[in-house]
Structure 1
Amino acid sequence: MRMRALFWAGFWAFLLDQASKYLVVYVMDVAHRGNIDVLPPLLRFRYGENRGINFGLFQGDSDASRWILVGLSLVICAVVLGWLARGRHSRLMMISGGLLIGGALGNVIDRLLYGYVLDFLNMSCCGIENPFVFNVADIFIFAGAAGLILLDGKKPS
């Protein structure tokens, strides 16, 4: 029953990530139209091609770095899935794991299809200009990892 929560959280995280990328990058054509101010400065759409990890760290144009990041993402997904499948974890832990896995797989698909991760979200606030772009998968990965850390050791409900 708990594995079902993990599956559905992962499924919806993956689907929402891929749908958001399709809408912003292809339907709204942010790459060619330029920047789209949604709620400036809080939310702007800015096209980005991330060949590294979050915040553009470990950028590399080589095919080797692309496949290393794909492999690393898949190993992390497998480890999280195995860990959650072996133990008795709360429903929220399983949902957190699903969010992390679904987001990671969304970025893996980008790397397989394009050679990089499609990013389009830019958020700034309070006079601080954020130069980085990210995507919905990154939000799910962060939320899932935070949930796994904060909820670990809590009694299953």
Structure 2
Amino acid sequence: MATKKRSNASGSSSGSSASSSATVLWLGFAAIVILLDQVSKITISKAFTYGETLGITSFFNLTLVYNKGAAFSFLAAETGWQRYFFTAIGLIAAAYITYLLVRHAGQKLFCTALSLIMGGALGNVIDRVMYGHVIDFLDFHYKEIYHFPAFNIADSAICLGAALFILDELRRVKK
């Protein structure tokens, strides 16, 4: 696994105060992602009724929809087990990411990626626990021909984090 090859950039043990304070910053960054995600979902939920759409541009709408599945409504039509499954995956991922943040707190790009992924995952976990579904509202489309599945800030953070993670790995391989 690529993460085992990582060394602590500061050269100090993961228990040092510098590493601890960096870890707190990364966890704080994840908390900001969660906060932005939850505030946006609450705002949309209060301003819109389910299925209501507001056209913003010729290619973008705000639309309140609920997703009982994962990204792009994967497994949304299942009987309900997926709610617990994706909640468990989100919590396990957050625990493992926290472990990685502690071990590699000095690696900025890597930890930025992980913090975005963790914040997004926990933002969607909160929805699943509180509502039984994830609130989505960002709706991009091309005319009436193609609609990209609606998503939210948590999903965006996960995708951005995954892209930064790949970039970090490519940079590491290049070295």
Q: Structure 1 153/83 Cα, relative in aligned 2: closer, same or farther at 3 Å?
A: farther
How does the TM-score come out when normalised to structure 1? 0.85
Of residues 137, 145, 164, the one that matches 1:147 is 164
Structure 1 stretches lacking a partner, 5+ long? none
Q: Confirm or deny that 1:51 pairs with 2:71.
A: no
Does the residue aligned with 2:55 lie in a helix, a strand or coil? strand
- Deviates most, 15-24 or 83-92: 83-92
Structure 2 stretches lacking a partner, 5+ long? 1-20
Per the TM alignment, residue 61 of structure 1 is displaced from its structure 2 partner at its CA by: 4.7
Counterpart in the other structure of 1:8: 28
Q: Distance in 1 between matches of 2:90 and 2:98?
A: 12
The code of the aligned residue for 2:156 comes to: I
Counterpart in the other structure of 2:39: 19
Contact 1:5 1:91 in 2 (8 A): no
Q: Larger relative CO (CA 8 A, sep 6+): 1 or 2?
A: 1
Contact 1:5 1:94 in 2 (8 A): no
Contact 2:26 2:115 in 1 (8 A): yes
Q: Distance in 2 between matches of 1:86 and 1:153?
A: 20
Contact 1:107 1:137 in 2 (8 A): yes
- Deviates most, 95-104 or 12-21: 95-104
Deviation track 1:77-118 (CA, whole Å, cap 9, x = no partner) reads 112221232235422221221111111111000000110000
User: Which structure has the bigger radius of gyration?
Assistant: 2
Q: Structure 1 115/154 Cα, relative in aligned 2: closer, same or farther at 3 Å?
A: same
Of residues 32, 35, 50, the one that matches 1:31 is 50
Q: Confirm or deny that 1:123 pairs with 2:143.
A: no
Counterpart in the other structure of 2:102: 85
Counterpart in the other structure of 2:58: 40
Q: Distance in 2 between matches of 1:60 and 1:129?
A: 21
The code of the aligned residue for 1:132 comes to: P
Q: After the TM superposition, which residues 90-109 of structure 1 pair with which residues of structure 2 at under 5 Å, given as runs?
A: 90-109=107-126
Cα RMSD, aligned residues only? 2.2
Counterpart in the other structure of 1:71: 88
Deviation track 1:25-81 (CA, whole Å, cap 9, x = no partner) reads 21x22426x21011232x201121111110011224534221111001111111222
- Deviates most, 87-96 or 9-18: 87-96
Q: Percent of aligned positions with the same letter in both sequences?
A: 28
Q: Distance in 2 between matches of 1:92 and 1:39?
A: 33
